[in-house]
Structure 1
Amino acid sequence: MASEPTKVIAGIDTHADTHHVAVINEHGKPIADKEFLAVGSGYRKIIDFITSYGTVVAIGVEGTGSYGAELARTLRGEGLTVLEVNRPNRAARRLKGKSDPLDAYQAAKSVLEGRTKAIPKAKDGPVECLRIVRSGRASAIKARTAAINQIKALLVSAPDKIRAKYRALATSALITALQRTRPSGHMADPEYVTLMTLKALAARCQALGAEIEAADAVLKEILDSYAPMLCDLPGVGTEVASQLLITFGDNPDRLGNEAQFASLVGVAPVPASSGKTTRHRLSRGGDRSANNALHQVVLVRMGSCQRTKDYVAKRTSEGKSKREIMRCLKRYAAREIYRQITNPRPAPDNSDLRRMRTELGITITTVAGELGQWVSILSRLERGHIRNDDLAATYRQWLTDQCQVQRFTRPLTSAAKTCALPEAVSQPV
């Protein structure tokens, strides 16, 4: 009778130039370890090395977001289960020592003991594109801010003639005015050198501003194709949506439920009860950038969403503090956003709105004036690019009323016949 194949677990300590791989069996006994080059041929040798000792249960990889990113993609491409391993505890490192083989074996044992369960981000889809674009955008914003601060610092000590002309201008007007200057003089004149430097800094600010606008356009294009309905949630814009998607990752299977997503973005309530006091506090863990994005969502909703305002008033009357109320609102927002990301609700088919409006001979500008909406909003609603069920219902009812008016104010035309058709069909037989 043939024996069952040995089940093995691998751990990989990743570095810039080399990866160290360790293999253990299902009982935790070390089998072998070896170092490989961090290149394509090295990745293939790693796969051959691991699979040569038996059936691979799982592979724990350190640094799946940096040095081990390409290795993790290669392993997943071979159908192997890859888990993300956190850096070993520093106290344990000091007690037991540190080396690449020890770290690799520790990664394998953390998978065996169940301490490692996180699925790494796939980094192979639109969300990775969002991350890359945001990375360049963030550096451009930082550089523009530094340039603006440098301009204002130079104006503080500039000659009085320059200070008097530019110090009262707002930032945008100041940059435009400085960019249009034509300094003249010689290199030993402080006034000329100051103006020349200010003009160069202003030109840099404008170039960085154009770069930021181009990045925003790319982010919007990706979001419109990948998650078009996410930005329609109250308080969720391009900045917030892109950050939350980056935190979530390209592969939805990373998170099993919305409670895990809440923990990931740092809004899961943490018990803080003692004695007769029963309460929860804000979580200080998770992705702080995603937590900041949710904070912005809550601030916008508290200022513009009537449902949120009513909730705040209700909880305030119950004795809740503003911080506790915002903690609850963040949790609710995380649940709503998680559902939209994992089960996106497609925009309903509103193509009948444009057809009815055209058959009635009404322009979209007229409808916008009657409903108090922007023409662009109604156009996107007709084409299914946004979801607004209340506005669609109002729009459809207004068109139906106009159809009724035309039916009784003029002979039954083809347009009126067409509008009356759905009502006739809906009548009981």
Structure 2
Amino acid sequence: MAEPPEETHVIGGVDTHKDLHVAAVVDHRDRVLGTESFPTTRHGYRLMLAWMRSFGDLRRVGVECSGSYGAGLLRYLQATGVEVLEVTAPDKLDRRRRGKNDDYDAESAAHAAFAERRTVTPRSRDGMVESLRVLRVCRKTAVQARRIALQMIQMTIVCAPDRIREPLRSMTRMQLIRTLAAWRPDLTAYRQVEEAYRIALKSLARRYLELHDEVADLDDMIEAIVKDLAPELLARTAIGLNSAAQLLLTAGDNPDRLKSEASFAALCGVSPVPASSGKTVRHRLNRGGDRAANSALHIIAIGRLRLDPRSQDYVARRIAAGHSKLGAIRCLKRYIAREVFGIIMRRHSEINQCQIAT
């Protein structure tokens, strides 16, 4: 009797860089078939996919750094229908034993994708949540630059000559900024100390106002996106715009990659972690997960302790049962994560249904 044909499916792995991606392919027995480098262009992505498929039926690809250097490759592979897994850092023991180069890293990513270890389903980066992320990053840097400009204004005023400093002492922040921005120093007299101070203060004040307007414009855009994505989230007690935006970013454009609300809680770092020993049975705070999401949940929990009678009663019962206040707040954050995940998933289903209908 003839033997059945040997399977020919293969698994890919990619070590991503700014200008070149290094790809590796392993067969159905996890044996390395080859490695190759490709440019980080759309044509390079096309060549890489064709090269991987030349070895057999491509089942999935493990990609390192799919949120940064590998973002373009992730979008391309998802658009072509290839299953993509995000590969975390290589095994330290294996790296210490074998050494490190780009080929080894690509092979390690392929081995990890083959065994489906050290892998997670990556967030897709082609929806409104990705737009929200980019705008929030831009806003964050604008706020930081605005703060630096204000600090520079205050430091410059402290060192300024008395005739400049004295009239500015009693002004509020915005009075000060608008007064400085309206100054008309003599630009040809920049060699004189007083005029140099006036020129510098006017420049810093105008910079502050420009950044202030930029932050306001970005806030309007961010608010519009959050209201489109999850209006019910903003309607809940103590959930503000920034907290809602961060939780949407943590869930991503494809929250269905999270198997349950427990996985979302673990992703936010609010799942209980066993810390029992002997006759002592307890749980401790989770110090892992997305710390920005954890911070957002903590802000919501503190707000509800002030505004929501049900949350106040719940924490009081936990403390009466022997929990510390911090432990009781941890439990409250866990319940808030469950509530938030339900809202996000319902809204995600509604958006998908609308897209299918259109």
Would you call these one fold, judging by a TM-score over 0.5? yes
> Which residue of structure 1 aligns with residue 206 of structure 2?
203
From 277, 288, 296, give the equivalent of 1:293: 296
> Which residue of structure 1 aligns with residue 355 of structure 2?
none
Query: Take 1:345 and 1:13, find their aligned partners in 2: how far apart are those partners?
Result: 32
Query: Take 2:332 and 2:174, find their aligned partners in 1: how far apart are those partners?
Result: 35
Q: Secondary structure at the match of 1:319?
A: coil
Alpha carbons 1:229, 1:345 under 8 Å: kept: no
Following superposition of structure 1 onto structure 2, how do residues 73-222 of structure 1 map, counting pairs within 5 Å? 73-183=75-185, 186-222=189-225
From 37, 50, 71, give the equivalent of 1:69: 71
Cα 1:345/1:20, change in 2 over 3 Å: closer
Is it true that 1:269 corresponds to 2:257 in the alignment? Answer: no
From 46, 67, 76, give the equivalent of 2:48: 46
Q: Secondary structure at the match of 2:347?
A: coil
**Offset of residue 151 of structure 1:** 1.3
Number of residues of Structure 1 aligned to a counterpart in Structure 2: 347
Alpha carbons 2:256, 2:345 under 8 Å: kept: no
Q: Please provide the CA RMSD for this pair.
A: 2.2
Moved more, 223-232 or 118-127: 223-232
> Which residue of structure 2 aligns with residue 326 of structure 1?
329
Could you give the per-residue CA deviations for residues 173-228 of structure 1, whole angstroms, max 9, x where no partner exists? 33233223344594344333223322221111111111011001111111222222
Is it true that 1:240 corresponds to 2:240 in the alignment? Answer: no
Give the AA of the match of 1:73. R
Cα 1:342/1:162, change in 2 over 3 Å: same
**Offset of residue 45 of structure 1:** 1.4
Q: Structure 2 length normalisation: TM-score?
A: 0.90
Identity rate, percent: 42
Cα 1:243/1:345, change in 2 over 3 Å: closer
Give the AA of the match of 1:131. R
**Offset of residue 171 of structure 1:** 2.6
Following superposition of structure 1 onto structure 2, how do residues 366-385 of structure 1 map, counting pairs within 5 Å? none
Cα 1:163/1:92, change in 2 over 3 Å: farther
**Offset of residue 345 of structure 1:** 9.8
> Which residue of structure 1 aligns with residue 17 of structure 2?
15
Moved more, 225-234 or 103-112: 225-234
Query: Take 1:314 and 1:178, find their aligned partners in 2: how far apart are those partners?
Result: 55
Alpha carbons 1:155, 1:167 under 8 Å: kept: no
Gaps of 5+ in 2: 351-358
Higher relative CO (Cα under 8 Å, sequence separation at least 6) belongs to: 2
Alpha carbons 2:88, 2:119 under 8 Å: kept: no
Moved more, 287-296 or 125-134: 287-296
Moved more, 179-188 or 2-11: 179-188
Give the AA of the match of 1:255. L
Q: Secondary structure at the match of 2:25?
A: strand
Cα 1:247/1:74, change in 2 over 3 Å: same
Alpha carbons 2:38, 2:44 under 8 Å: kept: yes
Query: Take 1:60 and 1:236, find their aligned partners in 2: how far apart are those partners?
Result: 36
**Offset of residue 272 of structure 1:** 1.9
Could you give the per-residue CA deviations for residues 20-75 of structure 1, whole angstroms, max 9, x where no partner exists? 11111122111122121221111111111111222222210111111111111111
Alpha carbons 2:7, 2:28 under 8 Å: kept: no
> Which residue of structure 1 aligns with residue 308 of structure 2?
305
Is it true that 1:36 corresponds to 2:38 in the alignment? Answer: yes
Give the AA of the match of 1:37. P
Is it true that 1:284 corresponds to 2:287 in the alignment? Answer: yes
> Which residue of structure 1 aligns with residue 61 of structure 2?
59
Alpha carbons 1:25, 1:31 under 8 Å: kept: yes
Could you give the per-residue CA deviations for residues 233-262 of structure 1, whole angstroms, max 9, x where no partner exists? 222222111111111111122211111111
Cα 1:174/1:77, change in 2 over 3 Å: same
**Offset of residue 87 of structure 1:** 2.2
Cα 1:34/1:154, change in 2 over 3 Å: same
Q: Secondary structure at the match of 1:343?
A: helix
Query: Take 2:29 and 2:134, find their aligned partners in 1: how far apart are those partners?
Result: 41
Query: Take 2:18 and 2:146, find their aligned partners in 1: how far apart are those partners?
Result: 31
Alpha carbons 1:5, 1:55 under 8 Å: kept: no
Query: Take 1:181 and 1:125, find their aligned partners in 2: how far apart are those partners?
Result: 45
